[in-house]
Amino acid sequence: MSSPAYAVVNLDALQHNLQIVRQYAPHSKIMPVIKANAYGHGMLRVASALQSADAFAVARVDEGVRLRKAGITNRITVLEGFSCTHELDALLTYQLNPVVHSFSQVIMLETRTELNACSIWLKLDTGMNRLGFNAEEFYVAYQRLIQNPVIKGPINLMTHLANADDIQDTTTIKQTSKFNDTIAALLNEQMIESERSACSIANSAGILAWPVTLSDWVRPGIMLYGISPFPDTTGEDWHLKPVMELHSRLIAVKSLNKGDKVGYAGTWTCNKPTKLGIIAIGYGDGYPRHTMEGTPVLVNGHRVPLIGRVSMDMITVDLKSQPQAKPGDSVTLWGKGLAIEEIANCANTIPYTLVCGITQRVRFIEHSFNDLNLIANILNH
Ligand SMILES: *Cc1c(COP(=O)(O)O)cnc(C)c1O
């Protein structure tokens, strides 16, 4: 028997969303960000579906190694770079391109003797204050790296936006100016050969809302999965198509009387007789525990409200408006007709955490137009 909880990954939607990136950034190369198991969608699955991309970006060395071992030959950027010689060994062996953001990395690279062995992205911190060099350090790091025979030139240059999902906030403009000014200063001092160093600034929010952030490379993550990076819009508003749907089934229906309480701690009390539906999904599957009472769930395509606490394996819904619902009926937690952005709001979180949080127990089903054709063919013969 397979688990009642399953996620459908729509590979055609993924292709469609890549096409939307191309429309917004027609002159940029695209580096789909497939870190954290491709935001929970399955890293190898997504990499195979997006092999036409110019490169991929992952966060960690081991993610890049997994891609190589699976036969992915695209360029691969490792956004966190490396923090020990073991990781540097793996980067060189598997031809992964690290982000270099600290002097301890510069020093580690200076201990190597291989020639032209490693392409890198040098990271400027323009205000995120997470990874990256400040402007003065950036010049020094650049000088040292350009003289290091291990580095395969040109050195690519990048920064990361801290608040591009707030389209009122001028931080993005400031960060972009700082990046461009710093690179212009490097150019003035003829430290870099202009045409050869590629630059990259934009994440999804940059691509969609901040044309000034478009440069040689863009790094879309969340938008590829059909999800809006902005708190007040859905992917659909940007013509994106959701890639992941989360489904399960009703496993029990029961009648409640006035005064009955539901679930752990009995946080919901029935005020007039109704029907209760029990659904096989819980925080053990990645449905967030803090999802509020009243959050919509689709039962046979109709919205019903969540009631009581989310438990590990189950949630409960009020079936007042769907009294004919019965065990075995299909349930959608997010997907067609129920935007993940809406569920994220109801759970007081962002959609990123919902897709990343799907657990091992959930079955994954891939869906694409080609598969449908295949099924149609099988049915016709
Ligand atoms: C995760 C990440 C991205 C992608 O961000 P989205 O908001 O998902 O588009 C881009 N660049 C860096 C450095 C990242 O860490």
Predicted pLDDT of residue 196: 74
Its pTM stands at 0.94
Instruction: Please tell me if the CB atom of residue 226 comes closer than 6 angstroms to any atom of ligand 1.
Output: no
pLDDT of residue 11 exceeding 80: yes
User: What whole-number distance in Å separates Cα of residue 10 and Cα of residue 21?
Assistant: 17
Per-chain mean pLDDT for the chain: 94
Residues 6+ apart with CB under 8 A from 372: none
- Among protein residues, the one with the nearest Cα to ligand 1's atom 10 is 203
User: What whole-number distance in Å separates Cα of residue 234 and Cα of residue 257?
Assistant: 38
Predicted pLDDT of residue 186: 85
What are the pLDDT digits (tens) for 168-205? 999 999 999 999 999 998 877 766 655 578 999 999 99
* CB neighbour class for 16 (10 Å; exposed up to 12, middle 13-18, buried from 19): middle
Q: What is the mean pLDDT of residues 340-353?
A: 97
Question: To test the ligand 1 pocket, which listed residue (31, 121, 203) has its Cβ within 8 A of the most ligand atoms?
Answer: 203
Predicted pLDDT of residue 191: 61
Closest atom, ligand 1, to C-alpha of 158: 13
Predicted pLDDT of residue 378: 47
Cα(204) to centroid(ligand 1), Å: 7
What's the CATH class of domain 244-379? mainly beta
Which positions are annotated as active-site residues?
35, 264
The region of weakest confidence among 291-295, 369-373, 376-380 is 376-380
Superfamily name and number for 11-228: Alanine racemase (3.20.20.10)
Predicted pLDDT of residue 187: 78
Report the percentage of the chain scoring pLDDT > 70: 95
Instruction: Please tell me if the CB atom of residue 32 comes closer than 6 angstroms to any atom of ligand 1.
Output: no
Instruction: Please tell me if the CB atom of residue 221 comes closer than 6 angstroms to any atom of ligand 1.
Output: yes
Predicted pLDDT of residue 2: 76
What are the pLDDT digits (tens) for 212-270? 999 999 999 999 999 999 999 999 999 999 999 999 999 999 999 999 999 999 999 99
User: What whole-number distance in Å separates Cα of residue 19 and Cα of residue 22?
Assistant: 5
Query: Position of tokens 């990781």?
Result: 87
Report the percentage of the chain scoring pLDDT > 90: 91
Predicted pLDDT of residue 190: 63
Domain residue spans of the chain: 11-228, 244-379
Q: What is the mean pLDDT of residues 78-91?
A: 97
Instruction: Please tell me if the CB atom of residue 339 comes closer than 6 angstroms to any atom of ligand 1.
Output: no
What are the pLDDT digits (tens) for 261-288? 999 999 999 999 999 999 999 999 999 9
Asked if residue 261 lies in contact with residue 275, where contact means CB atoms within 8 angstroms, the answer is: no
Instruction: Please tell me if the CB atom of residue 220 comes closer than 6 angstroms to any atom of ligand 1.
Output: yes
Predicted pLDDT of residue 288: 97
User: What whole-number distance in Å separates Cα of residue 299 and Cα of residue 325?
Assistant: 8
> Torsions phi, psi of 77, nearest 5?
-95, 135
Give the amino acid at 266.
G
User: What whole-number distance in Å separates Cα of residue 166 and Cα of residue 225?
Assistant: 20
Alpha-carbon torsion (110, 55, 7, 322), positive or negative: positive
